[in-house]
Structure 1
Amino acid sequence: MEHSCVPNTTHIFDNEPNGYKITIKAVLPITAGEHITTMYTHCLWGTQARREHLRETKYFNCKCKRCSDPTELGSYLSALRCIGTNEEPCGGIRLPLNPLDDNTDWACDKCPVNLTNAEVCFLVNGIGEEVDNVQLSNPTVRELDSLLNKMITFLHSNHYHIYAVKHSLIQLYGYQQGYTPSQLTDDCLAKKATMCRELLDITKKVDPGNARLPLYLGVILHELYLANWLIIKRKWDLGIKTKVKSVVQMLLECEKCLEEANEALKNESNTPAGEKLAALITTSTKRI
């Protein structure tokens, strides 16, 4: 099947009595004459990483609508922060002038300073190695927080390296010793909820049909539910007077998160991770 970095199908593997079966399902509307596509690379890699992987393993240069867009469909998954030339950064966003050109310069939207593609690759690859090393060392919340604060100086808050660290963090808030539900401050819960909403927005932009990231999406939605639920329960148990409207909004968001998570995992029931996450969502739905 043809590749696209925004595929309009997903595939499901089933064990059959007489062998294996692959089911292909449309996840986006496919009009007459439109190509039916899948994806040969990782959805959460930036454009340069995806195109390099496809070139080395599939021998073609991808020119899909996501690869052709410097902002990657408004997700800014590869964007950098401009640190300028003076002591104070200009606060601009740095994007490739032509993402389909491997030698393109990266320009800032606020100042005239450009970076070469080689300079950007050196920076991003170096940060990527550090992220991998930290992630493989069974990191603590403090270690990931420290890494996040360091990266945010150079990378856009939606960058795929930052996405990876945030996705790990939201799963540690509420579970790791020192950050259990009873130990989390209100600020930590609010921070977790904000991270979840940021990740949710990015995930839906790069995978609008939920073809490649159902487990990522399911985790984000369930963790957002948990953050809201803990805030609501804490206020309720303490008898703190609060605006009814804000509580109702959080409850509605909880309900919506669980409904969306359940829908996102409908094709993951035959995988161990999908089955485990679906069970958590069922329990949470009963609680709601």
Structure 2
Amino acid sequence: MNEEEKKLIYAQDIYGGGGKTWGLEKDSKYGRYLIALRNVEPGEILFVDYPLVHGPVSSYNNIICITCYRNLTEAKECRGCSWPVCGDHCPFKSTHTSQECNLLAKKRDTLKNKLTGKFNLESINYNALLTIRILLCKNTNQEKWKKINLLDPQIEDWKQSPNWLDMEMPSARYILETVSPEIETNIEEIINIFGICYTNTFSKLLPPSHQSSQDDPNNLQWTKIRSSYLVASMMSHSCVPSAEQSISSLEGDLKFVLRAIRPIKKGEQITISYTDLLEPTILRQTKLMNDKLFTCQCPRCIDPVELETNCGTLKCFTCLKTNKKPTSQLLPSKDDNSIWKCNSCKTDVKYTKVQSLLTKIKDDILIVEKPECTVQEAEKLLKKYSQLLHDGHGLLLKIKYQLCGMYGRSHGFLLQDLSLQQLDRKRVLCEDVLKFLDIIQPYTSRQGVILYELSCALVTIGKYQMTMDKQKAEQNLKQSLSYLRKSLKILENEAEGTFEFDLALGGKETLAALENYFK
């Protein structure tokens, strides 16, 4: 990486930290990565970046608009290319440029079912759009094209992945047919761009449109897109990261803000996580190998008890059957990666059996992230899998994390309607999740949200207790105030339009009321 390339990357940081707060390094182990050029405190902004390009992910369950990416109950056709759009009113229609429209028009006859005249989801190649938008930069934005080509495609690694090239070739041919001869390219270049996208894009979940009808369940579904950033793509991964990113909404131009979540010393690498940190090592490693082609060797991944969190610890199946008390722990063997071993009865269990079990549980608990899931359903899943997993296991924490918000926001469980017992349940759940976050994800939006939920539980408990035990009530109110201050400190800079931003707005009123009470 020469000095000219460094300057181009530094200049992409509109916050001005490039070459001052952070610098670029490169070696054979990590490739290019960011280091701190000075001591950094938690909460500090490290850089701000905007996407070079963004587009849909590879597939969806419903027809989406190709400009705002929202689910469409009644899709309209773009007047130029016939691809699905919201209509002329879509606020992001400029995403779909006239050059793109002219190219996509070549595929207009393949988009619909000839018998029904309706869009055929399987015939809409959403996966091709991001690559086409990148290729268009060759003709329309040479500066952006130059920046895109600074991104490492790791193409040789992808080609060695079983069947990867064979699976990608049909899409590459589709794109070549679509963009030729207007854009001068070839299969090799298109495959290289695939590598860039797989290696360097970031996913973003978009909430349902506020204008959508709430009567249609499709409109309650979030949609995912992917964006490519120049500076952000230089960062390495850790399962105990030193920084966390926040990506704003489409309305906020998908602004990428990176903040430190723990102290970073001068010369230390700045890392983020490429995967969900609530998941146990065995599932994170599978995800990283499938999506990024590497095995993480961070301190958490090489520790069987995951830095004392027990995020991956199971209860021993053999000890459970014999009703042994207390139930012992099933952990990865330090001597043999292919087995897990009980720390009491020494029973061996194959790695593949544990992986299969946890994958099944992960799939089973996905329901808790859907808006239709009830408190009762989530509690039932928590009870079911608590029989097999350690109390600190990441998959249980996923359920607990959702329940922290469901107690207080779900139908029939609004905060003002909760009993003291239910409020105490909310408190316990929040405290369980915070034990993990304090170690793995301090000063993150996730911690800010749980601190807010815990504050809500305590302030409501305090109000209940005021007529019965004023001293105890005020203790809870003071604790609530402390948690709320810390929550708002974390969430105050969240991107506008996000759930976290809205929480912080509402929390300021409660903060003022509590502070006024204790004056």
Identify whether the pair has TM-score above 0.5, normalized to the shorter chain. yes
Contact 2:261 2:441 in 1 (8 A): no
Change (3 A) 1:37 1:249: same
Is 1:223 matched up with 2:449? no
Match of 2:8 in 1: none
Match of 2:315 in 1: 81
* Secondary structure of the corresponding residue to residue 295 of structure 2: coil
Contact 2:465 2:473 in 1 (8 A): no
Tell me how far 1:23 sits from its aligned partner.
Answer: 4.9
Matches within 5 A, 1:54-93: 54-85=288-319, 86-90=321-325, 91-93=327-329
Sequence identity percentage: 29
Match of 1:279 in 2: 505
From 468, 475, 479, the counterpart of 1:240: 468
Q: Distance in 2 between matches of 1:54 and 1:134?
A: 24
Match of 1:250 in 2: 476
Tell me how far 1:136 sits from its aligned partner.
Answer: 3.4
Q: Distance in 1 between matches of 2:481 and 2:508?
A: 12
With the length of structure 1 as denominator, give the TM-score of the two structures. Answer: 0.85
Tell me how far 1:268 sits from its aligned partner.
Answer: 0.9
Match of 2:226 in 1: none
Is 1:164 matched up with 2:394? no
Contact 2:305 2:311 in 1 (8 A): yes
Is 1:46 matched up with 2:272? no
Q: Distance in 1 between matches of 2:478 and 2:469?
A: 19
* Secondary structure of the corresponding residue to residue 496 of structure 2: coil
Q: Distance in 2 between matches of 1:14 and 1:167?
A: 22
* Secondary structure of the corresponding residue to residue 231 of structure 1: helix
**Alignment-mate amino acid for residue 349 of structure 2:** L
Q: Distance in 2 between matches of 1:159 and 1:255?
A: 29
**Alignment-mate amino acid for residue 401 of structure 2:** H
Tell me how far 1:98 sits from its aligned partner.
Answer: 3.6
Q: Distance in 2 between matches of 1:180 and 1:130?
A: 26
Match of 1:268 in 2: 494
Contact 2:423 2:461 in 1 (8 A): yes
Is 1:31 matched up with 2:257? no
Change (3 A) 1:143 1:38: closer
Tell me how far 1:22 sits from its aligned partner.
Answer: 4.9
Q: Distance in 2 between matches of 1:69 and 1:34?
A: 21
Contact 1:14 1:270 in 2 (8 A): yes
Is 1:120 matched up with 2:354? yes
Aligned-pair RMSD on alpha carbons? 2.5
Q: Distance in 1 between matches of 2:374 and 2:330?
A: 31
Q: Distance in 2 between matches of 1:14 and 1:165?
A: 26
Is 1:6 matched up with 2:240? yes
Is 1:95 matched up with 2:331? yes
**Alignment-mate amino acid for residue 503 of structure 2:** L
* Secondary structure of the corresponding residue to residue 341 of structure 2: strand
Change (3 A) 1:60 1:223: same
Change (3 A) 1:119 1:178: same
Match of 2:384 in 1: 150
Contact 1:3 1:38 in 2 (8 A): yes
**Alignment-mate amino acid for residue 479 of structure 2:** E
Match of 2:191 in 1: none
Q: Distance in 1 between matches of 2:247 and 2:409?
A: 32
Q: Distance in 2 between matches of 1:251 and 1:36?
A: 38
Give unpaired runs (5+ residues) of structure 1.
none
Change (3 A) 1:226 1:21: closer
Give unpaired runs (5+ residues) of structure 2.
1-234, 515-519
Match of 2:126 in 1: none
With the length of structure 2 as denominator, give the TM-score of the two structures. Answer: 0.49
Between 23-32 and 270-279, report the one with greater CA deviation: 23-32
Match of 2:434 in 1: 200
Tell me how far 1:69 sits from its aligned partner.
Answer: 1.1
Q: Distance in 1 between matches of 2:355 and 2:300?
A: 19
Q: Distance in 1 between matches of 2:431 and 2:403?
A: 13
Tell me how far 1:258 sits from its aligned partner.
Answer: 0.7
Change (3 A) 1:280 1:37: same
Change (3 A) 1:21 1:277: closer
Tell me how far 1:217 sits from its aligned partner.
Answer: 1.6
Between 127-136 and 150-159, report the one with greater CA deviation: 127-136
Tell me how far 1:89 sits from its aligned partner.
Answer: 4.1
Contact 1:98 1:104 in 2 (8 A): no
CA deviations over 1:91-129 (Å, ceiling 9, x no partner): 112221249x7x432222332222211111121111112
Largest Rg, 1 or 2: 2
**Alignment-mate amino acid for residue 277 of structure 1:** L
**Which structure is richer in relative contact order (CA contacts within 8 A, separation 6 or more)?**
1
Q: Distance in 2 between matches of 1:259 and 1:137?
A: 29
Change (3 A) 1:67 1:184: same
Change (3 A) 1:47 1:271: farther
* Secondary structure of the corresponding residue to residue 68 of structure 1: coil
* Secondary structure of the corresponding residue to residue 44 of structure 1: coil
Q: Distance in 2 between matches of 1:92 and 1:2?
A: 36
Q: Distance in 2 between matches of 1:240 and 1:84?
A: 48
Change (3 A) 1:174 1:120: same
Q: Distance in 1 between matches of 2:365 and 2:328?
A: 24
* Secondary structure of the corresponding residue to residue 36 of structure 1: strand
Q: Distance in 1 between matches of 2:376 and 2:244?
A: 37
